[in-house]
Homo-oligomer: A and B are copies of this chain.
Amino acid sequence: MPSQVLSTQASSGRDFAAWTRFLRAYAAVTRELSSRLEQAHGLSLRDYDVLVQLNGAPDRQMRRIDLARTVILSPSGITRLLEGLERAGLVGKHQCESDQRVTYAVLTDAGVIKFEEARATHVADVEELFSSRFSAEEWEQLAELLGRLPLADAGECNA
């Protein structure tokens, strides 16, 4: 393996190609997919991510704080993101009975519909961008490798 060549620095034996490419790939891919999603449905990537999570959650609802943690957003970030989705009528609020501190974000019927519409095109976009470059095995491998990175994670709260 010709890993020595890139030796502007190769500090401890590894070079930084992976890290740099990771940053670049994110910026490039995100820009493309985000603008398509925005154009087609008026949703940001994170909006979509939130819709995915809510749609997959029991009763299509989640505590706001857990939602924030799973999509990796600060508490204030989730407040403002949901603000937009609420204005659009895609998500509603629901106070927790047993704990007045917590509020649930609930996917509305309109939200479900919107999500399914968006999913169709977004899935196609992702396919288009990645299919041509990765085989199924590579795709899975990529998922596996990325899955090892540290992510904050949510607990759950039964209804």
Contact = CB atoms under 8 A, between A and B. Distances in A.
Interface of A: 1, 3, 5-6, 8-9, 11-14, 16-32, 45, 49, 52, 55-56, 71-73, 119, 123, 126-127, 129-131, 133-134, 136, 138-143, 145-152
Contacts of A52: 20
Contacts of A145: 134, 138, 141-142, 145
A43 to B, nearest CB: 14
Contacts of A148: 133-134
Contacts of A16: 123, 126
B45 A14 contact: no
Contact of A26 (B11, B26, B129): B26
B8 A149 contact: no
A42 to B, nearest CB: 19
A49 B72 contact: no
Contacts of A71: 24, 27
Nearest to A19: B126
A-B pairs with lowest CB-CB distance, top 5: A18-B143, A27-B72, A21-B146, A17-B143, A25-B149
Nearest to A3: B140
Contacts of A31: 72
A23 B3 contact: no
A60 to B, nearest CB: 12
A133 to B, nearest CB: 5
B136 A18 contact: no
